Chains A and B, each alone.
Chain A
Amino acid sequence: MSLAETEGTAPVQAGQAAQAAGEAKMTARDANVYYGDAQALKHVDLDIGTNEVTSLIGPSGCGKSTFLRCLNRMNDVIDGCRVKGDIRLDEEDIYHPSLDVVQLRARVGMVFQKPNPFPKSIYENIVYGPRIHGMVHNKGDMDEIVESSLRRAGLWEEAKDRLEQPGTGLSGGQQQRLCIARAIAVNPEVILMDEPCSALDPIATSRIEELIDELRQNFTIVIVTHSMQQAARVSQRTAFFHLGILVEVGPTEEIFTNPKDKRTQDYITGRFG
């Protein structure tokens, strides 16, 4: 839990190859997002630390999902949505015209609020991404990637005997882990999770939380959550959004024990939101 500096003053990193934990993997500078004429995100400066879990919290409608979607350009899919500002992945401007969105999304994966497995077999769900990116060439490759992804998502034991059955036939929690496995399968560097546990029961939730903690070893994770406890349990850094503004960001412990801003304090003590 380093990165004590406040936003906007993050030092520019020179080498990208071997980043230490906590060094900025992604940076956003003066990010503004508009839906038509309405501005949903205002002047957001935020660093996402390498191999850390960063959680985004804030009341409903404050722009958490919007910010998250900026990071893998899923906003492109939305009609009338415009993004302004400088957002970088390993120093590379991800909104640069020459950047290939397909490759970006292979590097920055996403898990959605509602589990959304494709109506295909579990096996096909996993190999979908690798196949698109030409990462697998034969059955052996695919089998391997299916097993390793499912293992890392903690679903292998439950799913290994039913790989050919539809992914939609799994329970909600299993489906969400399948979606995580599907995202891991393309071996991304960053995984974005938008309220990944909001459709799950407490047991499934705690499994996913454990999983997130393990995945931190290999991936940089950004998670949006409405549960303060969850943010406190899984994340190293927490960013609090309010009305499209990034109010405060810092080490999770600090945000929850000693918030600097009055609005943050009000939110975490449950006075609004």
Chain B
Amino acid sequence: MNVLTILLVLLILSAAAYFVGQRQALAVGGGSAKQLHSLPSYHGFYTALWVALPAIILLILWLVIEPHVAESVLRANLPQAYSQLTDAELNLRIGEIKRLATGNIVGATISQDLQAAADSYANTMTVSRIAMLLIMAALVGIGFVFARKRISITLRARNQVERVTTIIMFLASLIAILTTVGIILSLLFETGRFFTMVPFWDFLFGIHWSPQTALRADQVGASGAFGAIPLFAGTLLITFIAMLVAVPVGLFSAIYMSEYASPRVRAIAKPLLEVLAGIPTVVYGFFAALAVAPFFRGMGESIGLDVSSESALAAGMVMGIMIIPFVSSLSDDVMNAVPQTLRDGSYALGATQSETVRQVILPAALPGIVGAVLLAVSRAIGETMIVVMAAGLAANLTANPLESVTTVTVQIVTLLTGDQEFDSAKTLAAFALGLVLFVVTLCLNVYALHIVRKYREKYD
């Protein structure tokens, strides 16, 4: 039986237990729920939980512990000949034995010893599984009987079920948080390793980026350079161009939506604008690389400008279009949150609509709009696909939007695609870049949310 089947069986059993518990509670209450402390359905859940939970906990523990136990049994029973092997070779053999036991393909020729060991390993596993199923069945039975015994008029089934649900929800959020923490820790750890190879200041303030490490000492161009300034500059340039597009367009469309559009227009136009946010970035990417970049190049040629075929301008423009809905949607929300009474107050003084927007609505909504723009910036900095496809790979340190530049995200992608040694400075540089990206966007997000929240409080 595999794990999925076991879970399925448990589910069916606990469903059955639910009905039994519910019936029993009804019977105890004399056919109605009035006298019971908790509704019959809570008694049902109570019984179901007692049936399923102990078994599931056992299953999890077993699955965690079983491989370790089985392996140490295997190691203890290995043939004499194996005791001379080095650790690495031993691990290789053990891997082979396991694969053989589970019926997978094995590279080496299968010797007598190997086959015997595999058989005994398979044997151990079977025994372990049977033992687990037996214990599980016992737990299910005990839980069922116990729960039925407890069912009575005064049983606080609701409170108990709710406590268990709370714990389950807590565990779920704990998993999410722990994963995040784990990712951050691994980023930190790998970045630490990177900085043992490349000095911190060289990375943060070096102006030359050419990530390679020497294979031989006398290799040509052996000395790699890990100065990340060109990447930061490229990222900033593209982000700047993107915001140049997204902020005015997004802001004006938000003003139109919230102040001028009739409810009908608004009901259609707003979702339509938000569709922009739903287009996969890959699509934007090839749009930028295949349509916009050549267009700019052609334009440049016709007026005698030298535009690179992968330009910061093209990538930034398309990214700006992608980000418009972020700016417009959030700004629209904050402008709508400006109380109607302020508008009325302004109109009643004889202000026109545009005067009201400029002098009352926008100043009142400004903190929220700034927050929206900051969130958009953080989105632009982290955006990868468009720049990978349209901005190029050359780490030029330039402020000219017609040249090709590269960004932090693009470099992370190129550092990690293809076959890589895991402990070279080249690979580890990706972690350092990732950490920088993470810290910057985190700060931006926290600050932006802080501003938006402070603004919300003012009018609630």
Contacts and interface: CB of A to CB of B under 8 A. Distances in A.
B40 to A, nearest CB: 46
Interface stretch (A55-63, A113-121, A215-223, A239-247): A113-121
A118 B364 contact: yes
Given A112-B341, A128-B359, A186-B349, 6 more contacts: A74-B344, A74-B348, A77-B344, A109-B349, A112-B345, A116-B341
Interface string B349-360: 111100100011
B347 A116 contact: no
A102 B350 contact: yes
A133 B350 contact: yes
Interface string A97-130: 0000111111001101010111110000000110
B346 interface: yes
Contact of B350 (A105, A114, A116): A105
Interface in B303-350: 339, 341-350
Interface in B415-460: 458
B388 to A, nearest CB: 44
23 contacts: A72-B348, A74-B348, A77-B343, A77-B347, A79-B263, A102-B350, A102-B352, A105-B350, A109-B349, A110-B344, A112-B344, A116-B339, A116-B341, A116-B342, A116-B345, A118-B346, A118-B360, A128-B351, A132-B351, A133-B350, A182-B345, A183-B348, A186-B350
Nearest to A113: B341
B54 interface: no
A102 B363 CA distance: 22
Interface in B363-394: 363-364
A179 interface: yes
B341 A114 contact: yes
Interface of A: 72, 74, 77, 79, 101-106, 109-110, 112, 114, 116-120, 128-129, 132-133, 179, 182-183, 186
Contacts of B352: 102
B357 to A, nearest CB: 13
Contacts of B347: 74, 77, 105
A159 B263 CA distance: 41
Contact of A129 (B342, B343, B349): B349
Nearest to B348: A110
B264 to A, nearest CB: 10
B349 A179 contact: no
Contacts of B458: 119
Contacts of A106: 349-350
Contacts of B343: 77
A105 B347 CA distance: 8
A103 B458 CA distance: 32
B15 to A, nearest CB: 52
- The 8 A-B residue pairs with the shortest CB-CB distance, nearest first, are A105-B350, A110-B348, A129-B349, A116-B341, A106-B350, A116-B345, A102-B350, A119-B364
A128 B364 contact: no
Interface of B: 262-263, 339, 341-352, 355, 359-360, 363-364, 458
B345 A132 contact: no
A186 B359 CA distance: 17
B39 to A, nearest CB: 42
Given A79-B263, A118-B364, A109 B355 contact: no
A183 B345 CA distance: 9
Contact of B349 (A119, A120, A128): A128
Contacts of A116: 339, 341-342, 344-345
Contacts of B350: 101-106, 129, 132-133, 186
Contacts, number: 65
A104 to B, nearest CB: 8
A105 B342 CA distance: 16
Contacts of A101: 350
Q: Which of B341, B348, B363 has the most A CB atoms < 10 Å from its CB? A: B348
A126 to B, nearest CB: 10
A179 B345 contact: yes
Nearest to A132: B351
Q: Which of B347, B350, B360, B364 has the most A CB atoms < 10 Å from its CB? A: B350
Contacts of A179: 345
A190 to B, nearest CB: 12
Contacts of B341: 112, 114, 116
A106 B341 CA distance: 18
A179 B350 CA distance: 14
Contacts of A110: 344, 348
A105 B359 contact: no
Contacts of B348: 72, 74, 105, 109-110, 112, 183
Nearest to B365: A119
Contacts of A109: 348-349
A60 to B, nearest CB: 19
Q: Which of A106, A119, A186 has the most B CB atoms < 10 Å from its CB? A: A119
Nearest to A72: B348
Contacts of B262: 79
A169 to B, nearest CB: 12
B452 to A, nearest CB: 16
Contacts of B364: 118-119
B355 A120 contact: no
Nearest to B359: A128
B347 to A, nearest CB: 6
A128 B304 CA distance: 51
A200 to B, nearest CB: 16
A103 B350 CA distance: 7
A245 to B, nearest CB: 26
A183 B349 contact: yes
A17 B351 CA distance: 26
A128 B349 CA distance: 8
A195 to B, nearest CB: 13
A128 B364 CA distance: 14
A132 B346 CA distance: 10
Nearest to B349: A129
B358 to A, nearest CB: 11
A119 B344 contact: no
Contact of A119 (B263, B351, B355, B363): B363
Nearest to B364: A119
B215 to A, nearest CB: 64
Contacts of A77: 343-344, 347
A123 to B, nearest CB: 14
A74 B349 CA distance: 10
A186 B350 CA distance: 9
A110 B363 CA distance: 22
Nearest to B341: A116
